Amino acid sequence: MTHLLKFFLAVSTLLLFSSCSKDLEEYNKPAIYWYSKMIESISEADLDRADDYYSSLQGEHIGSPLLPQATFIMALAHMYNEEYLLAQHYLDEYLRRFAANSSDKEEAAFLKIKAKYLSLPNPRRDQALINEAIADAKQFKKEYPHSMHYYVVDTMLTRLILSKAVLDDAIASLYERIDKPKAAAFYKEKEKRTWVDWSIVQRAEIPWYREWFEGDGTSSWYDFLIPDTQSVVSRNSNKDTNNTTQRKQ
């Protein structure tokens, strides 16, 4: 039994090292080899390995004519798998190095906006990303007024602006609940959109399992626990304001 166990361990170790050596020997290959392996990995939904093959293609054949197409394909593959940050990384790389004409730049810029838009399923959680997406969408409309994607970008921009307005309104409500009127007034002023008829705007419905912890944007389940008194910061701020007024008088 002992000899059998030793034999099994020896065989397992041999197989392990042989498989590792096989991976280590993956170098100095033609560009088409890495490209084919990358496509094969994408077809098998193994994007981690596809990233590795792309790195090998880029490292060994930096001037290959296959590299621009491979970069764009990797961006699309990550977007399809809802890995939007990686998709944006590849699109940035494509725009920086390979977008040779206006058509290429337009398509990559559109996909970048789409990736940012799709990466915001919960807009209340990422204010900075909303601002970035809005800025990119406005820039796209300015640079490509005749683009076939113009009205799609315009629709995304409208929804992003509404999301930002709702987020600002939720932040203002939060500051009101903790008695910070100046901050609340600041965000309420930001939230105003004169061209929007807010009476017909329907807020996004929050799933029940999120609403338990996050509330509906105007209050939270723990709202009754917050004392109906001024916060320490507010009391001090008011006191300082009063003292300043008295000194000026």
Number of helical H runs and strand E runs in the chain = 11, 0
Look at residue 207 and give its three-state secondary structure: coil
Angstrom distance (rounded) from CA 79 to CA 245: 57
Q: What is the pLDDT of residue 206?
A: 63
Tokens at 73, concatenated: 């394909």
Q: Which of 78, 98, 118 is the last residue of a domain?
A: 98
Distances from the Cα of 44 to the Cα of 38, 47, 72, 217, angstroms: 10, 8, 18, 41
Q: Give me the DSSP letters along 88-116.
A: HHHHHHHHHHT--SHHHHHHHHHHHHHHH
Q: Give average pLDDT by consecutive 10-residue segment, the chain, 249 residues.
A: 49 46 66 96 95 94 94 96 93 92 93 91 71 94 96 93 79 79 77 64 62 54 52 44 45
Do residues 188 and 75 share a domain? no
Q: What is the pLDDT of residue 64?
A: 93
Angstrom distance (rounded) from CA 46 to CA 89: 18
Closest C-alpha to 156, from 129, 133, 128: 133
The model's pTM: 0.68
Query: Is residue 10 exposed (0-12), middle (13-18) or buried (19+ Cβ within 10 Å)?
Result: exposed
- Which residue segment(s) compose the domain that 56 sits in? 24-98
- How many domains is the chain partitioned into structurally? 2
In this structure, is residue 8 part of a structural domain?
Answer: no
Do residues 204 and 111 share a domain? yes
Closest C-alpha to 84, from 117, 109, 52, 110: 117
Q: Which of 98, 118, 150 is the last residue of a domain?
A: 98
Q: What is the pLDDT of residue 147?
A: 95
Do residues 39 and 123 share a domain? no
In this structure, is residue 13 part of a structural domain?
Answer: no
In this structure, is residue 151 part of a structural domain?
Answer: yes
Do residues 142 and 62 share a domain? no
Q: What is the pLDDT of residue 91?
A: 95
Q: Which of 68, 98, 128 is the last residue of a domain?
A: 98
Do residues 224 and 152 share a domain? yes
Do residues 88 and 195 share a domain? no
Angstrom distance (rounded) from CA 100 to CA 216: 47
Look at residue 38 and give its three-state secondary structure: helix
Query: Is residue 192 exposed (0-12), middle (13-18) or buried (19+ Cβ within 10 Å)?
Result: exposed
In this structure, is residue 19 part of a structural domain?
Answer: no
In this structure, is residue 116 part of a structural domain?
Answer: yes
In this structure, is residue 10 part of a structural domain?
Answer: no
Do residues 109 and 218 share a domain? yes
Angstrom distance (rounded) from CA 218 to CA 161: 19
In this structure, is residue 58 part of a structural domain?
Answer: yes
Do residues 91 and 109 share a domain? no
Do residues 140 and 126 share a domain? yes
Do residues 114 and 169 share a domain? yes
